[in-house]
Amino acid sequence: MTILEMQGLAAKNAGRVLAVAGTARKNEALEAIAQALYRNQGYILSENEKDLAAAMASGMKQSLLDRLALSAQRMDAIVEGVRQVAALPDPIGEVTKMATRPNGLIIGKRRVPLGVIGIIYEARPNVTVDAAALCLKSGNAVILRGGKEAFRSNKALVSVMRDALESAGLPRDCVALVEDTSRESANELMGLTGYLDVLIPRGGAGLIRAVVEHARVPVIETGVGVCHIYVDGEADLDMGAEIIYNAKCSRPSVCNAAECLLVHAGVAEVFLPKAKALLDRKGVELRGCPRTAAILGESVVPATSEDWDTEYGDYILAVKVVDSAQEAIDFINTHGSGHSEAIVTTNYFTAQTFLDQVDAAAVYVNASTRFTDGFEFGLGAEIGISTQKMHARGPMGLEELASSKYIIYGNGQVR
């Protein structure tokens, strides 16, 4: 038996205990985790500093360093996220449907845990805690496989959480970390069919594509974020400039950051200089169509066909002038990744058309795409943003981590 198979077996056994632990016991464990993370944040931050130093020495770009970095403020947000998950209603055991058949059978549908969830992700230590908290509350054991860049941070976080679980009377193996960060361990996890019930990749396009193509266990695909902001011909242009500045610049490395700006030709000559003045604060490189370049001049890098389909994760923004809202919608449905899309407009009917026709997990009117986040949506945290169209789409909270089973009450019926 390999190390990963032993982890899988331990997680499966732990998951059986967790599945019937009950809400109060799970909440007690989550509170123990929150307190332990707070008490041990000095240790966790020191381990994170080692990861950051190694990443900087390897030449990791700034936007990715931002994903990797923890701070006292971010640790406070992580702890608060755990407590928010504990405060959420527990979906497990909820009977969502119950009916009596003509033969007297009473047939119901009850929410149950998925079982053992594997998560493969990159340099995002906050995912380690978010994923563990959501899996615990939804009654699922979890096997975490983070990237090598965050190994020390992840190991510290998981060690603290496992100790807290044990102190709360639940098995330590409800949360496990794959300590081998080689490609071989990722490949083995993708094929761990006897132990994993579902695998969730969270990261860049390359990681997600590799998991979807090679996994032999069921996969919930989370999203590459090629997100657009469309500024309509009937828009509040000051609002639009603030929205694109926030959507691109607040955290360019995350999947809900805007990667492409579409502007109606009727307002482009006024709006583009206004938006550029804000984007220049962060030195955003604009890669634009010929009409964009004609308005903004030589500061615009000519866009290539690849730019319309790229998740930059950096201070780079593709810009295109369009002639109508319908052209913007068609462009988004062609080049978007199904993650988050936004329109800025004062026209109610244009907004409704955009909401109806844009094919994405989250569609906004007059707001930044940066709100596509479990915490912001009131889910406490998220396991990822699903861009597929199965049972889970958008920020994946507790209900999306549950399956269902039919429960049938009879009094001797035979067929």
> Rounded mean pLDDT of 22-45?
97
% pLDDT > 70, the chain = 99
% pLDDT > 90, the chain = 80
Answer yes or no: do 159 and 175 share one domain: yes
Answer yes or no: do 332 and 218 share one domain: no
- Predicted pLDDT at 28: 98
Answer yes or no: do 261 and 185 share one domain: no
* pLDDT per position as a tens digit, 215-274: 999 988 777 789 999 999 999 999 999 999 999 999 898 889 999 999 999 999 999 999
Answer yes or no: do 213 and 324 share one domain: no
Residues 6+ apart with CB under 8 A from 251: 66, 257, 370
Question: Angle, nearest 10°, between helix axes 72-87 and 125-137?
Answer: 10
Answer yes or no: do 357 and 239 share one domain: yes
- Predicted pLDDT at 394: 82
Length of the chain: 415
Give CA–CA dist 383/44, Å, rounded. Answer: 21
- Predicted pLDDT at 381: 67
- Predicted pLDDT at 122: 84
**Average pLDDT, whole number, for the chain?**
93
Answer yes or no: do 200 and 51 share one domain: yes
Give CA–CA dist 231/300, Å, rounded. Answer: 19
- Predicted pLDDT at 131: 92
> Rounded mean pLDDT of 13-34?
97
Give CA–CA dist 376/385, Å, rounded. Answer: 13
Residues 6+ apart with CB under 8 A from 182: none
Question: Looking at the 3D structure of the chain, how many domains does it have?
Answer: 2
Q: Is residue 377 part of a domain?
A: no
- CATH number of the domain residue 71 falls in: 3.40.605.10
Is the pLDDT reported for residue 204 higher than 70? yes
Answer yes or no: do 320 and 400 share one domain: no
Answer yes or no: do 190 and 240 share one domain: no
Q: Is residue 204 part of a domain?
A: yes
Which residues are 95's β-sheet partners?
Answer: 110
> Rounded mean pLDDT of 15-31?
97
- Predicted pLDDT at 380: 63
> Rounded mean pLDDT of 193-201?
93
Give CA–CA dist 343/236, Å, rounded. Answer: 11
Q: Is residue 378 part of a domain?
A: no
Q: Is residue 26 part of a domain?
A: yes
Answer yes or no: do 144 and 8 share one domain: yes
Answer yes or no: do 39 and 72 share one domain: yes
- Residue 263's H or E segment, with its range, is strand 258-264
Is the pLDDT reported for residue 212 higher than 90? no
Answer yes or no: do 167 and 262 share one domain: no
- 209 confidence band (pLDDT: 50, 70, 90): confident
* pLDDT per position as a tens digit, 368-410: 999 998 778 877 667 778 877 777 788 888 888 999 999 999 9
Q: Are 144 and 119 in contact (CB under 8 A)?
A: yes
Label each residue of 321-343 as H, E or C. EECCHHHHHHHHHHHCCCCEEEE
* E-only strand ranges, 106-214: 106-113, 116-121, 141-145, 175-177, 198-202
Q: Is residue 51 part of a domain?
A: yes
- Predicted pLDDT at 61: 83
Which tokens hold the place of 129?
A: 């805690």
Answer yes or no: do 263 and 366 share one domain: yes
Which residues are 386's β-sheet partners?
Answer: 222, 394
- The percent of the chain in helix, strand and coil, each rounded to the nearest 5, is 50, 20, 35
Q: Is residue 336 part of a domain?
A: yes
Question: Angle, nearest 10°, between helix axes 151-167 and 23-39?
Answer: 130
- CATH number of the domain residue 293 falls in: 3.40.309.10
Which residues are 301's β-sheet partners?
Answer: 287
Strand 141-145, strand 385-386: pairing: unpaired
Q: Is residue 321 part of a domain?
A: yes
Give CA–CA dist 135/20, Å, rounded. Answer: 14
Single-letter amino acid code for the residue at 36:
A
Give me the domain span that covers residue 20: 3-222+383-409
